[in-house]
Each structure stands twice: as C-alpha cells, then as structure tokens.
Structure 1
C-alpha cells in the first residue's frame, strides 16, 4: 500500500512539557558517552538529546467548545495532551480525518537538554545546551497504486519505411507483396525459357545452322533479362 504523508506543526508543546517528560520520554544512553565515543557515532554539529521519544501513534480530537478557537484540534499521545494542531491547518487536518483514504497519525517529539560536537583548534569538543520541546504531526492517507506505464511497441521490421522516406504510421500497400511475387515468377520463367532455347539451339546446329543460331540468340536474351530481373528483385 502506498501512503501520502503530510506534515503539520504542533503548537503549545512546551506548556505540557512536564507530563510529556514524565510519561513519554525516556533516557538516551548516548547522552552519557564521552567525546571520543560520540565522535564514532555522530558527526560534528549533531545534537544528542538527554531524552529520546519514540515515534508515537497520536489521536486528534476536535474541540468545538474551545473558547480560544472553536476550530481547534488537540493532539494526544497515550491519552496525554501534548499540544494543538497549529492554527491555520485545522480545517485541512479535519478534512483529512474525514477522508475515506485516511489511515493513521504519528507524532515525532524532540527537544530538551542536548550535547553537540564541535571542533576547536582541530580538537573535538562538546557543548551543552537545551531547547524547548517540539512536536511534528504526520497524517498518512492511502494512495491507489498506479498502473505501470507500458512502453509503445515500435513498428516491426516488415512495416518499416524505406530509407529516406517519412514514416506515416500506415501499413504498407497490399499490392506491394503480390507485385514482388509476380516479378519473381517472371524472372524464373525467362530463365527457364532461355535455357530451353539454348538447349534447342545447340541441338539444331548439326542439321540446321540458322535455326540453331536463332535458338541460341533467343535463349541468351531471355537468360540475360531473367537473371538481370532476378538481381533487381533481390536489391
């Protein structure tokens, strides 16, 4: 199944930091690593937070009775309120939830105390700092799988146009094949007639020189044109 993922910001996360840290966060063992150990896993500039948060399934609950924004949508993880869909995205989020293609919702949470690797005089050092908790909301909708595109079949060799001519896409003329067959039969007939006249002419020479000469002449002409026509058909 293919999914479309849309990202939205969760507002007001810092207001619920106590419950988030208590019930959702867990200690990150990497935060206790030495500078050397951190450099083997992380790059310069990476932040290593003291606490980690799994990507959680979330529940989105519209709040039409919210006195500040009747269009508000609350975001809950494990039944704990962590914030609200950012104002301006609520209508779109509600439409996604009503869509027959809606599948599921996930939340990524981050923030708090962290360590960051940096370089000073070609030496790796660690600075400690912190940032407010934040959360990103992802809504997944199902997408129909697209049929694979079928490549067009190229024209076959038998229907290819002659070199130098433009291909119009139309089939070759029906008369073309029979014409070639007639030409082939005619060339064979000329060759056979020529051979027969040559044989007759040679046979008549002892008794009738004139008839024998005419037979050789006619046989030679027929044989010449028959062979020539045959060669032209093969080209």
Structure 2
C-alpha cells in the first residue's frame, strides 16, 4: 500500500512517520453535501485511517452540480450510503462508517474517539451544536462555510477560540439555498479545510488554530484573520451548553431559554 502514497511520503511535512499518523487517525465529517463530500474524499485519498460521516438527507437533483460523490443514478438514495460506497472504492484499506440522521440525534454514537471534526453542513444551528460537542468532548473542529463565490474556514479549539467566541448570538448567515454557490468555491474551501485537518493530525495544528482563511473566488482574494479566545465566552470559558440539553452531568451547565 506504500506505493499509493509515494508522492505524499516524500513531502517534508509528511514522511513515513506522518503517513502512519494519518492512517491511525479518526475523523468525523458532519454533512455529506458539497463540502462534506469533498473533504471526506480527499482525506480518504490521503490515507486517513477512519472516516465517519453523518447526514440525514437523500440525494436530490439540485445537489448534482456541486456534490461530487453523487450522480443521476444516486437520486433518492441516502447520501451517507452512497458517500460510503464511493470512499470504499477510492481507498478499500481504510475504515468508513456512516450514521443516518442529524448530528443532534447521533453525536453520542459517532463523535467520541475521533481526533477532529469537520463541518460539511450548511446550517448554523448544526454548527452551534458541533461547537458544543467539541467543547464537551475536548475535540477540535473545523468550521467551513461557503455561499456564492465566498467562503471561510477556521480550526477551532475546545479551549478557545470556539465558534461562540466570535459568534455569541445565533445569526442567520448566507447559505447556498439563499445565495447559490459556485461548485469551484465549495471545493476550494473544502481543500483548505482538509489541508488544515491534515496539518493538525500531523502535529502542526497550533499554527492553524484560530486563523480564519477567507476566500473570494470572484475577485481572487485570500485573507487571513486571527481569532483569539474570548475570556468571557459563555461556552468554552463558562461551560454553558445551550444545545446539548438532554445531557445531564456535573460538568454541564444547561442554560435555559
């Protein structure tokens, strides 16, 4: 199997040891849409040893212009099932697992034990939930959002910065449904997120923590914005969990309202 990764192993940032790290890593991809599919596929090709995917939806015709895991023959099928089949064809020597449902419903089954969580959703409430799971289970995650030709991606930490550090109140952001999306933008931001995940898995995540990459493909601009932990953050600093309301434990402060 070494032959498969020869061009990757010779990279100074990877090597034999790095490839072994990737093969022993476990990642969770939440959402099997445009960004989720692209992230999962490239991580499989790079040799990440276990990939878990969560999604509740079926393949629709409007998905096909940007969600590369699927074709016309997949219409009506569950995305998770077809995405797993594609990953198995791409790399039959890794472990791929799927959960049919929303992350709010299945997180206890899929999140514990992974090294990092990747955002493949187009839903702010799901991201807020992922953020709480990240803090509760002490697992970093990568926020990735795309709409139109614009997108952003950042590695967040259970110790801060977390999503609530710079997005304290619930907002209604731009989405693919409201703004449309260029497939090129979705894939480009997915590669940014996947590369960030690989750097983290290889032990070089510190330099990426809280560094938001902002890409506008229409105007060819790429910028970096540093996000610092907020000392008064209600989640990672004060541990007020608004979404994981069904969990009861000494380290959880369930906030009403």
Q: Please give the TM-score of this superposition, normalised by the length of structure 2.
A: 0.15
Instruction: From the CA coordinates, give the structure whose radius of gyration is larger.
Output: 1
Q: Which has the higher contact order (CA 8 A, sep 6+)?
A: 1
The structure whose residues are more often strand, as a share, is 1
